[in-house]
Amino acid sequence: MRRLESKKIIVATHNAGKLREIASLIGPYGFETQSAAELGLPEPEETGTRYEENAYIKAYAAAQATGLPALSDDSGFEADALDGAPGVYTADWATRADGSRDFTYAMEKVEKALQDAGAISADKRTGRFVSVLCLAWPDGYAEYFRGVIEGTLVYPPRGQDGFGYDPMFQPEGESRTFGEMTAEEKHGWKRGDKTALSHRARAFKLFAETMLEAFPGTVDTGFPAGNA
């Protein structure tokens, strides 16, 4: 595993919701972040069929363009009754004919597909959010961190918080959807109690434990010693 020697990281995303979440997760570690969108970098085409491939395409493009390590997130929403769809195509399911993204429309589409598949009862409506973080260097070297949260796909959507498909996802063990939770609740990222609930926080926890804690002079992460 390569050490992170830079205090500046490019967040390789053009998605405002992801940027907000990644910036708030990484903020306490004292890193300076800039996003690919802020730098006016082009958005590369995501041609992969796995989260890891798309995460690499985004992180490597930003690292190459800036000469700095870049962190990307490729994520998706998976329904078991749909054999894991929309999966890596989660963002595409929200894209309308004019190219705009509409998540009310996307959730309706998922619901229609679930109904067509006969997934009516809660036990047939299981699914998950997956997040793969990729940290890539300008020379092409990369590290990956995967986080998953299992849950139930509910309809109609509930809550106004978060972004994307949050209002349709009730994580296991919770009575509220991600859309009904504050950002702190969604990520489970309260200082000193880092259980990491969301897929992104779980991936980020791995990243923080292996990469940020190894950085000389990093701030206390609040993780209990030896936490798995």
Catalytic residues: 74
Per-residue burial over 162-188, b = 16 or more CB atoms within 10 Å of its CB, e = otherwise: bebbbbbbbbeebeebbbbbebebbbb
Residue least distant from ligand IMP (Cβ): 164
Stretch 81-120: interaction string toward ligand IMP, x if CB under 6 A: ---------xx--x--------------------------
User: Contact region for ligand IMP (CB under 6 A) — 2-10, 73-81, 109-117, 151-159?
Assistant: 73-81
Establish if 35 lies at the interface with ligand IMP (CB under 6 A).
no
- Please indicate if the annotation marks 142 as binding a ligand: no
Tell which one of 22, 31, 74, 157 touches ligand IMP (CB under 6 A).
Answer: 74
3-state SS record for 65-104? HHCCCEEEEEEEEEEHHHCCCEECCCCHHHECCCCCECHH
Residue 83's CB is within 10 A of a number of other CB atoms, namely: 9
Query: Token digits for 121?
Result: 């009862």
Establish if 166 lies at the interface with ligand IMP (CB under 6 A).
yes
- Please indicate if the annotation marks 58 as binding a ligand: no
Restricting to residues 132-151, which ones interact with ligand IMP according to CB under 6 A?
none
Please report how close the Cβ of residue 86 comes to ligand IMP at its closest, in angstroms.
Answer: 8
Contact 24, 33 (CB under 8 A): no
User: Contact region for ligand IMP (CB under 6 A) — 70-78, 108-116, 120-128, 203-211?
Assistant: 70-78
Tell which one of 10, 15, 26, 60 touches ligand IMP (CB under 6 A).
Answer: 15
The footprint of ligand IMP (CB under 6 A) covers 15, 46, 54, 74-77, 90-91, 94, 129, 162-166, 178, 198, 200
